[in-house]
Structure 1
Amino acid sequence: MNFKLILLSLVLISTISAAGCNNIVKTGQAAKSEQSDIQRSALDIGERVAQWQIEHLENFDYLEPRYRKGTAEPRNWIQATFYIGLTRWTETVNDSALLRHISEVAESVDYKFRTKRDRHADDHAIGQTYLWLTEQTGDPRTYGFVQQEFDRILANPSNVDLELIEVEPKVWGYEGPCQDRWCWADALFMAPRTWLKLTNITGEDKYFEFADSEFWATADYLFSDEYGLFFRDSRYFESQSDNGKPVFWSRGNGWVFAALPLIIDDLPSDHPSRDRYIALYKKNAAGLQAIQNPNGYWPASLLDPNKVKTPEMSGTAFITFGLAWGVNNGILRDEKYNQSVLKGWQAIEKAIAKNGRVNYVQQVGKSPDPVKKEDTQLYGVGAVLLAASEMTKWAN
């Protein structure tokens, strides 16, 4: 071959290779930049919403009067959900000031539950924070009361039916007698992980053996294989929205879908139920991913986006957290889940005010209800903190 032609060929090959390498480098840099932007956004939002809420723990005038008393109780499920999110965030950023704040609040109530409803899952939620403090500090004071109460329940476990039937006269704080067990979707976020953490700390299997059995009794009862979604409770099995759609509540599903990663993370790797929790998680993830709104939010009524047309943050943040966890841990590998997480996170970004206030949080309830932009609540902040914690790890 002519020497000049050989030389020209080599030059062309070199040029094409260099261009290809440059394109690869540019693509890699763009991807790295995108990931860094997401991580920076997560760190910024987590810091702002945590700070705003901590600064507003002494005065709840920004809430409607009917919600103020329940919100102000640090042992109630409303604050408990905030602290579950805050403990995850504190671990993520390794913030000693936040750890100190959590410790002081828990100590101020002597690491106790509210005991007026001694079996109610909502009142066991704060135990997750006490037991998290045990893990962080090794202080045995943090779990003594929890163990005492759970031993009492184990000595006389309830066997009521899981059907939620309202009775008269109503018992304070109960929708129906079945709430002596975990007969509604929210309960699967509130209580089982407290029992699991107690087993992990004490080494006594009896606590999570009980919780594992109760969890699956409820999950098998409330989960719809047809839709991949959870009914809130038995009253919704045949319910239809105004538009003739089955009623699946966004936050109700968010409660369970956020609980599953938290439980799986705390389960020993060889636990016999681990695969079963992951299988349920995947089914729920598929059902939820398929019904995300184009704007990134999940509608308050999951199968009827026209029921409540405004954004809703508590369900959206819980679901975004759950999906991001699945992607980050290699459990959800399909690209559609990546895109859902990114859309969900962008929706969260839009709902956070500059000062860190979380907007569009449906108020306390049990079904899809109207939402206003100025509506906020501590459980919505907890959900955003869970999502922010997971998005700091985001990398496709």
Structure 2
Amino acid sequence: MLVGGTALSAVALASPGGTRPPWRRWVRRPAAARYPAPELPSRDAIIRVLRRVADHWIGAHADPGDNGWANATFFSGLLALHRLTGAAPYLAYARRWAEKHAYGLKGGVSTRHADNQCAGQAYLDLYELEPEGQKLAAIEACLRRMTLTDQPAKNDDWWWDDALHMAMPPFARLGALRRDPRYWDKMFALYRHTKTAEGGPGLYDADASGLWYRDKRFLPGGIVSPGGRPVLWSRGNGWVAGGHVKTLKALPASERHTAEYRATLTRLVTAVAKVQRPDGFWNVNLADPAHLPGPETSGTSFFVHGTAYAVAAGLVDAATYVPVAARAWNGMVASAVHPDGLLGFVQKVGDRPESSQPVTYESTADFGVGAFLLAGTELARVAR
């Protein structure tokens, strides 16, 4: 129901333990802006929203949680916000999380699964702030095994596009930290297997859309939407964007594959700009606007992250693409950020648009908050 330009929505207040109390209160939910402004807010305004969202999540989660990929994505975003603001509580919360897990990985150092390696991104962040060897012991042992000792010729581990976000950045950063290009060579071999049909699934649609299929089930001839159109999942492509951004931040321009990573990210950013919704969001299926067409925050956040980086790095024209990022950011702030800082319209864990539906104003998740923090911290680089 619209009242004075806003829609009323019942929101249950979460206690610090994450439980829902037996009472509810009514809050005013902003109506989705049909045409959010194409101008960026100020850098300070962006930071204020980021802090409200981060503070809400931390306040609602006294226990910082596990070290799986979803929560590790949150801490990647939180540490990006710490680098932007210098706020000590964010570093303290991240340090407490890492110490809780002894800077370890799910599956131990023998794991080859990209999801298990995502925590290494935050450990690398913490190491850069406070260099202590034990912080990198697990992630370095894990990636060293894959690169040098445990079936180093095996390159088929990244069979789904999410893997590019989870594991590319640790390989890129460890190679830079140790000045050892063997990590970069291994990363590229894994990446090319995922990307091309030369012995791999070939998830990159290089000839047509410039977007990525989530995994081989969705390749042409496989799963399609109810309307018979391809399924190009928004968050799946968001993971690809995030993986490229973080990898490019770590690699020197002279690294022999940097140009390909830059070109691929540029193609993705320009492709998604063409299918942005009028309200600034992106649909969960980028190829079919009629397929579950509600707003979705996690994919949208990663596209802001990728677009803002591409602008700052000079990969795309600022006059054309800053408005794309601004509309998305302004749309999320107006429609998905609750007054108390809860971030809504996040599609929860899944592997396709149908997963964890319906996506609602109250739907939130750790990785969605992390994606939003990554988006805003990158956007602050191009704002005044």
TM-score range for the pair, normalised by the shorter chain length: 0.7 to 0.9
Q: Distance in 2 between matches of 1:199 and 1:102?
A: 24
Deviation at 1:135, TM superposition (A): 1.1
Contact 2:117–2:170 (Cα < 8 Å) also in 1: yes
* Distance in 1 of aligned mates of 2:77 and 2:345: 18
CA distance in 2, matches of 1:366, 1:261: 22
Q: Quick check: 1:157 aligned with 2:151?
A: yes
Question: What's the offset of the Cα at 1:287?
Answer: 1.1
Q: Which residue of the partner structure matches residue 213 of structure 2?
A: 231
Establish whether residue 137 from structure 1 lines up as the match of residue 130 from structure 2. yes
SS at match of 2:42: helix
Larger deviation: 226-235 or 110-119? 110-119
Q: How does 1:129-278 map to 2 (within 5 A)?
A: 129-154=122-147, 155-157=149-151, 181-220=157-196, 221-225=202-206, 226-238=208-220, 239-278=223-262
- More deviation in 314-323 or 385-394? 385-394
Contact 1:348/1:384 (8 A) holds in 2:
no
Give the conservation status (yes or no) of the 8 Å contact 2:280–2:328.
yes
Q: What residue in structure 2 maps to residue 365 of structure 1?
A: 350
Distance 1:245 1:373, change over 3 A: same
- Cα distance 1:305–1:38, how it changes in 2: closer, same or farther (>3 A)? farther
**Which residue of the partner structure matches residue 173 of structure 1?**
none
Question: Match of 2:330?
Answer: 346
Q: Alignment partner of 1:222: what SS?
A: coil
Partners of 1:395 and 1:144 lie apart in 2 by 37
Deviation at 1:158, TM superposition (A): 6.9
1:6 paired residue number: none
Whole-Å separation in 2 of the counterparts to 1:261 and 1:148? 24
Instruction: Summarize deviations over 1:120-139 as a string: whole Å, max 9, x none.
Output: 10010000111111111111
AA aligned to 1:223 is Y
> For the structure 1 residues 144 and 160, does the alpha-carbon distance in structure 2 shift closer, same or farther, using more than 3 Å as the test?
closer
C-alpha contact (below 8 Å) 2:117/2:166 kept by paired residues: yes
Superposed displacement of residue 334, structure 1 = 5.7
**1:11-26 matches, cutoff 5 A:** none
Q: Contact conserved, 1:38 with 1:394, CA < 8 A, in 2?
A: no
C-alpha separation in 1, matches of 2:194 and 2:65: 28
Q: Are the counterparts in 1 of residues 214 and 232 from structure 2 also a CA contact under 8 Å?
A: yes
Deviation (angstroms), 1:329:
2.4
Aligned residues between the structures: 332
Structure 1 residue 308: deviation in Å?
Answer: 1.1
Question: Corresponding residue for 1:68?
Answer: none
Cα deviation, residue 289, structure 1: 0.8
Let me know the Cα RMSD of the aligned residues: 1.9
**Which residue pairs with 1:10 in the alignment?**
none
Aligned partner of 2:285 in structure 1 is 301
> With structure 1 as the length reference, what TM-score do the two structures score?
0.80
Separation in structure 1 between the aligned mates of residue 121 and residue 340 of structure 2, nearest angstrom: 28
| Structure 2 CA distance for partners of 1:110 and 1:292, relative to 1, 3 Å | same
Is the 8 Å Cα contact of residues 284 and 296 (structure 2) preserved in structure 1? Answer: yes
Q: Which moved more, 1:313-322 or 1:201-210?
A: 201-210
Task: Compute the TM-score of the two structures, normalised by the length of structure 2.
Answer: 0.82
The ranges of structure 1 where at least 4 consecutive aligned residues each deviate by more than 4 angstroms after the TM superposition are 158-162
- 1:183-239 CA-partner distances (Å, limit 9, x unpaired): 101000000111122222222322222112211221222110201100000000032
d(CA) in 2 for partners of 1:142 and 1:56?
27
Match of 2:294 in 1: 310
- 2:88 matched residue in structure 1: 96
SS in 2 for 1:208: helix
Where structure 2 has 5 or more consecutive residues not aligned to the other structure, the ranges are 1-38, 197-201
Provide the residue aligned with 1:5 in structure 2: none
1:58 Cα deviation after fit: 3.7
CA distance in 2, matches of 1:295, 1:83: 28
Structure index of larger Rg: 1
1:149 positional shift: 2.0
**Partner deviation per Cα, 1:82-103 (whole Å, 9 max, x = no partner):** 0111111111112233122212
Question: For residue 85 of structure 1, what is the aligned residue in structure 2?
Answer: 77
Point out the more displaced range, 330-339 or 308-317: 330-339
Cα shift at 1:276: 1.1
Q: Which residue of 1 aligns with 2:30?
A: none
Change (3 A) 1:311 1:161: same
Higher helix share: 1
Equivalents in 2 of 1:152, 1:98: separation in Å? 32
Aligned residues of 2:311 and 2:322 also touching (Cα < 8 A): yes
Which of the numbers 363, 373, 377 marks the counterpart of 1:385?
373
1:40 matched to 2:24 = no
Structure 2 counterpart of 1:380, which letter?
G
The answer to whether the aligner puts 1:321 opposite 2:305 as a matched pair is: yes
Instruction: Please tell me whether the aligned partners of residues 199 and 207 of structure 1 are also in contact (alpha carbons under 8 angstroms).
Output: yes
Give, in whole Å, the separation in 1 of the partners of 2:210 and 2:242: 15
Structure 1 pair 303/153, CA: closer, same or farther in 2 (3 Å)?
same
How much has 1:159 moved relative to structure 2? 6.2
AA of the residue aligned to 2:333: E
> 1:335, CA displacement in angstroms?
3.1
1:275 Cα deviation from its structure 2 partner: 1.0
Tell me the amino acid that sits aligned with residue 205 of structure 2: S
- The alpha carbon displacement at 1:161 in A equals 8.3
User: Post-superposition shift, 1:73?
Assistant: 4.7
